[in-house]
Amino acid sequence: MIGQILTSSDPASGQMEITDPRVAALFVKPHVAGYLAQFIGAETTVKRAALRVNTKLNVMAYWAERFLNLGLIRVARVESRAGSAVKVYQSVANEFIISVDKLEGLTNNEVLQRIMHRHYDPFSENVAASGLRLTDSWQL
């Protein structure tokens, strides 16, 4: 399935180009990108990934299975444990490259807004909190 959805631009560099518009669309959904980010650059279990992003285990399990089926992550190893074995996952690349033209139905501005949203919101919340700590009433 990887050959149909993803094309590796340079396997040695750890980069992978996303060529399927349906897969590319996942990367501009902040919560989905946040789930995938848990598997980039390090091995992790579904449970550890869920704890890091403060989400339910079944939600992370759903997305891990989806990422696995799309070829975005792989089973790095299986840990033997009493009871049942635990799969440890890792992304297939450290960097995913997506051409904006693969993001069907979105303008360049909409793509930028969706990506920056996950960075700007915490920043603006911190600026507002800092302003309130400096004075009882601050104005813009």
Domains and CATH numbers, the chain: 2-130 (1.10.10.10)
Beta strands in the chain (DSSP E): 6-10, 15-18, 73-79, 86-91, 95-98
18-75 pLDDT, tens digit per residue, is 989 889 888 888 789 899 999 999 999 999 999 999 999 999 999 999 999 999 999 9
Specify the pLDDT at position 11.
54
pTM score of the predicted model: 0.71
Categorize the per-residue pLDDT at 2 as very low, low, confident or very high, splitting at 50, 70 and 90.
very low
pLDDT at residue 140 in the model: 59
Report the distance separating Cα 39 and Cα 71, nearest Å. 12
Give the pLDDT confidence of 84-121 residue by residue, as tens digits. 899 999 999 999 988 877 777 777 777 677 667 666 66
Predicted local distance difference test score (pLDDT) of residue 69? 95
Long-range contacts at 116-121 (CB < 8 A, ≥ 24 apart): 117/30, 118/30, 118/33, 118/34
